[in-house]
Amino acid sequence: MNMMIGLEVHQQLATERKMYCDCPTNYQDVPPNTNVCPICTGMPGSKPLSPNEKVVDAAIELALMLGCKVVVDKPTYIQRKHYDYPDLPSGYQRTSLPIAVDGNLQGVRIREVHLEEDPGQYDPTVGSVDFNRSGVPLVEIVTEPDMRSPEDARKFLRQLIRVLEFTGKVRPEAGGAMRTDVNISLEGGARVEIKNINSVKGAYKALKFEITRQKARLGRGEAVTRETRAYLESQMITTPMRAKEMEEDYRYIPDPDIFPLIIDGTKVQQIRERMVEPPHLREQRLAEQYGIQQAAANVIVSERKFADLFEEVAKEVDPKLAATWFRTKLKKVLNYMKLDAADIKFTPKQLITLLQMIQHHRITPEQGELALRELVKKPTDPKELVQRLGLERIEWEDLELAVKEAIRKNQKAVKDYLAGRKEALNFIAGKVMELTSGRADPREILKLLRAELLKKI
Amino acid sequence: MGEVTKAKLDQLRSGELSPVENVRRALERISKLNPKINAFIEVNNGAVAQAEALERKLKRGKRAGKLAGLAIGIKSNINVNGLRATCASRTLEDYVAAYDAEVVKRVLAEDGIIIGMNNMDEFACGSSGETSAFGATDNPAAPGSIPGGSSSGGGAAIAAGMCDLCLGTDTGGSIRNPASHCGVVGVKPTYGLVPRQGLIDLGMSLDQIGPIAPDVYGAALLLEVIAGKNLNESVMLDVSKASYIDKIDGADIKGMKVGVSPQFVEITDSAVMNVIDKSIESLRDLGAEIVDVELPHIEEALPAYYLIVSVEFFSATRKFDGRKYGKRIEDVCGDEVLRRILRGRYISQKEYRGKYYQRALQVRTIIRRELMAALEKVDVIVGPTVPKLPHKLGTKLTLMEMYAYDYLTIPANLAGICGGVVKAGEVDGIPVGLQVQGKMLGEGQVLRVMRAFEAVS
Amino acid sequence: MAEERQKEIERSAEEIVESFVKATEGLPSEREMYYSQEAYNVVRPDGKPSSSEERTEFRKRFIKIMPAKDEDGNLRVEVAKWVK
């Protein structure tokens, strides 16, 4: 069934001060209504401070990351958007006109990017409000309804998170730093807006539920009316929030207490130049520049520091080898130890040394992985590490001796193999591994064994 | 004439009068007169203690602030920490201000003693002093007549000698109007000269806080204390503090170009105009050159104003939802407040914006241009403050008749220029004020003309 | 009664709007004047947030004037109508 899905993503920015006041932006580890002042609680007579400059710059950078055209050299007003809700202390939200338009992220068009402030936290079931979050700066990213399935939406959101976190300018996703309003219309039905979604999973589930609900209605011959619904996370359903056949009229006016912004073209250029390369573009470049597989590049750009490390290493190690190692073994070790690339303590040089040893067959890949694990736990010179752990690749002569010894000591297995039982080979290979304390490459072992046993035929 | 404030300050500085004694006298006077005049909604119970603290500080040899020992009344729409900023409305009748407005901080820093919260028209929506939820204010200079508004309590308090100085607010004439009716001095500063942090809004792009005083010196002194850039708000002129009492020293207006407009005559009652004409003659006698200026569209300023202020007031009152403090405004407010809210709500609708709000802002541009052009030709523009004499308290007026009081004061608010009022004379014992308007940041010139006039009247 | 009063006030509010528009009919179109001065990009740098001392004082007063609150200092308001 045809459907159109569009998203309005609200992303918190990483600043120390709130957007229009100097309160701290930490709202999660403090008691309720602690990081507040007359401005972010909407006390009578309170006036905003001038907008937080870092927010404007960060928004421009995010917009450029998303391939948008920044609105330059004409006034961008900060407007008052009026509506009544308990978490909105002044009865209006300060929201800017678009600072950028017409972007694109992996095939989904970005309609606009603008600045907003977060309202307070309202618990609708209990009826309580905490204004700690009120005034935290947000950037809102609005897409065109280009997504065609919940899977599309999920994929887009994951990509978007990657791009945003890559800039280092946003608060990490945990704890509601990114919230999404989802708009969906099925063929034959009106547009439904779903609010109160706090995670990518939530967006996906909300859409799945909503599609089922709407299909059922249409199937019964009932209309799907235009409305706003709330997503209830615990039950994974959507429920009507307010019925509106018409658009709510927010009665926008430019905020008389805040002068408009005019973004200067030169500043945009400067930001563009010092900007961190966005992951989706970096992925492309890595694949082309280093001749590595798209899938590997994709994993490598999952974290900016991870990709930085890769490019450092690829200068002195075969990029394809490095790519494989980054994509599989290093990622595996990091995941297992629950570390981000940012937590890595070893130096690039140390990793280069290790990978060069693997590249030049000084140690086997399996030994390399062991060494890597140790290296992550405690950075040290890899050469010394390998020696200490006795991981050095065994010399060819010693391997030959070990193979011959294993053949001598396991005559029954040899007979079985020669009689056609292939798995006996692995058994003998295992014995070789024991004899060599794992210092031989299993592939080498098998090669040698076959050659030796061939002689016996 | 015009020596009251200076004399009081001399007494305080010489020790002839102590701050505590001054405050006690003010409190006694208030206690005696307020039941009839109703200029104060709340008296500051901590005033004597503050005066005592000041005396201790002075005894220790600390420098005395510019307002040391003076008893100052604050309009009830300005936040004074610990006192109720009721805006003369049931909405905020129990709202104990949780912070100090910037101007209050500045008054306290110069050792002014806050004596109490002045009565006013509810939420500053009036020009008569009759719409307070706490009862109308009487005019001490013309008992039984309205004192004017919306800074009715301030004008009356000064006229009755209940305190030394008052802070009022002016959006469409609310300082100048009562100053004229009560026969005292009032100044509306240039928009953006005086901080609005802590002022409960009527119209954000129009409001200014200003002094009400028995004489020009007092007004200049208080203006000096409150004016100047505030880093803790955004929409302010980038001006540092300046001295205004310097500007009026030995005020000499020989050779100054003083503008008069034939349009004023068209709008104003002849009784009032007679007094003004005599004043203009006095100015001529003092050596000023009287120049005709045309203000062809001055009358259209009024409708533009009422459209703009309604929209801004609607926006400003969205925070009065009764959840965080006070009560929901629409539930308990008076007629004129509700009228402006509903009007604002009506004309800020999406489909009407162009026709009403934006149109009014265009007219604003025209008015501003006319006034600026006129002020290119002259140093100040003088004329009547109000088109007619104050009516008797309780007289029923149509809406338009009430709004008509504002014809001559509104243009200065729309344009953002400054304007002051000084007593010109009387008609049957009822005061008539001369309005002196100046360029943006032209307070010096305005005060000089006012002082020169005051000295000979 | 309250309904009637509101209707009457609303009527008087809107009626005067039309006369206002009429009064300014003759004037030409112009650029809209939103602000008394042309100023743009008045921004402030990000940096060290406000001190907890200032905020502690305000918090006490803020909580004191709340019409309804809980022991943690949350503001208590209505429960959402759409909550099941």
Tens digit of each residue's pLDDT (9 = 90 or more) over A317-346: 999 999 999 999 999 989 988 998 888 999
The residue type of A159 is Q
What is the distance between the alpha carbons of residues B27 and B38, in angstroms, rounded to a whole number?
A: 14
Going by C-alpha positions, the residue among A432, A444, A424 that lies closest to residue A364 is: A444
Which of B197, B347, B414 best probes binding to A when mutated, by most A CB atoms within 10 angstroms? B197
Which tokens belong to A7? 């998203």
Q: Where are the beta strands (DSSP E) in C1-82?
A: 75-76
- Has residue C84 got a pLDDT over 80? no
What is the distance between the alpha carbons of residues B343 and B323, in angstroms, rounded to a whole number?
A: 24
* CA A388 from centroid of its chain's CA atoms: 38
What average pLDDT is seen over chain B? 96
Q: Where are the beta strands (DSSP E) in B60-122?
A: 71-75, 113-118
Going by C-alpha positions, the residue among B208, B204, B203 that lies closest to residue B192 is: B208
> B372 CB near a chain C CB, below 8 Å?
no
- Has residue A457 got a pLDDT over 80? no
> B78 CB near a chain A CB, below 8 Å?
yes
pLDDT of residue A361: 83
Beta carbons of B136 and B254 less than 8 angstroms apart: no
The answer to which of A33-37, A64-68, A222-226 has the lowest mean pLDDT is: A222-226
Q: Average of pLDDT values for B119-142?
A: 98
Strand pairing partners for A194? A182, A229
Q: Between the CA of residue B209 and those of B125, B130, B197, B245, B381, what are the distances in Å?
A: 15, 21, 10, 18, 21
Q: Which chains touch B (3 or more CB pairs under 8 A)?
A: A, C
Give contacts of A43 with chain B, Cβ < 8 Å.
79, 98-99, 324-325
> C23 CB near a chain B CB, below 8 Å?
yes
Percent pLDDT > 90 in chain A is 57
3-state secondary structure of B428: coil
Percent pLDDT > 70 in chain A is 98
Q: Between the CA of residue B283 and those of B186, B260, B457, what are the distances in Å?
A: 19, 12, 10
All structural domains of chain A with their residue ranges = 3-269, 277-389, 396-456
By residue count, chain A amounts to 457
Helix/strand/coil percentages in chain B, nearest 5? 45, 15, 40
Angle between helices A348-359 and A365-377 (to 10 degrees): 170
Which tokens belong to A307? 């990709």
The answer to which of B212-216, B395-399, C24-28 has the lowest mean pLDDT is: C24-28
Residue C35 CB neighbour total at 10 angstroms: 20
The DSSP code sequence of A336-347 is HTT--GGG--S-
> C62 CB near a chain A CB, below 8 Å?
yes
With the CA atoms of A393, A396, A399 and A401 taken in that order, what torsion angle do they form, in degrees rounded to the nearest 10?
-150
* CA B394 from centroid of its chain's CA atoms: 23
What is the distance between the alpha carbons of residues B200 and B108, in angstroms, rounded to a whole number?
A: 19
The DSSP code sequence of A125-153 is TTTEEEGGGTT-EEEEEEE-S-B-SHHHH
pLDDT of residue A248: 80
Task: Collect contacts of B266-272 with beta carbons under 8 A, ≥24 apart.
Answer: B267/B298, B267/B299, B267/B387, B267/B407, B267/B408, B268/B383, B268/B384, B268/B387, B268/B388, B268/B408, B269/B387, B269/B388, B269/B389, B271/B389, B271/B427, B272/B384, B272/B386, B272/B387, B272/B388, B272/B389, B272/B427, B272/B432
All domains of chain B in start order, with CATH: 4-456 (3.90.1300.10)
A241/C70 Cβ within 8 A: no
Write out the H or E segment, with its range, that includes residue A209.
helix A200-219
Q: Using 50, 70 and 90 to split pLDDT, how confident is the model at A244? A: low
What average pLDDT is seen over chain A? 90
Q: Is the sign of the CA dihedral B109, B111, B115, B118 positive or negative?
A: negative
Give contacts of B204 with chain C, Cβ < 8 Å.
none
> Which B residues, 278 through 337, put their C-beta within 8 Å of a C-beta on chain A?
311-312, 314-315, 317-321, 323-326
- Has residue A193 got a pLDDT over 80? yes
Which of A52, A80, A251, A255 best probes binding to B when mutated, by most B CB atoms within 10 angstroms? A251
Residues of B designated as active site:
75, 150, 174
- Has residue B234 got a pLDDT over 60? yes
What is the distance between the alpha carbons of residues A351 and B92, in angstroms, rounded to a whole number?
A: 68
Q: DSSP label at B249?
A: T
Task: Collect contacts of B238-241 with beta carbons under 8 A, ≥24 apart.
Answer: B239/B193, B239/B441
Q: Average of pLDDT values for B258-278?
A: 97
C31/B365 Cβ within 8 A: yes
Q: Average of pLDDT values for B9-35?
A: 97
* CA B358 from centroid of its chain's CA atoms: 27
Listed ranges A145-149, A197-201, C21-25; the one with the highest mean pLDDT: A145-149
Q: Between the CA of residue A156 and those of A5, A12, A64, A147, B146, what are the distances in Å?
A: 11, 18, 17, 8, 66
CATH architecture classification, A396-456 = Orthogonal Bundle (1.10)
Q: Which chains touch A (3 or more CB pairs under 8 A)?
A: B, C
- Has residue A246 got a pLDDT over 60? no
ipTM for the predicted complex: 0.95
Q: Is the peptide bond before B152 cis (omega within 30 degrees of 0)?
A: no
Q: Between the CA of residue A364 and those of A189, A322, A359, A425, A444, what are the distances in Å?
A: 61, 15, 9, 20, 10
For the entire predicted model, the pTM comes to 0.85
R_g (Cα) of chain A, nearest Å: 29
The chain A residue lying nearest C37, using CA atoms, is A259
Percent pLDDT > 70 in chain B is 100
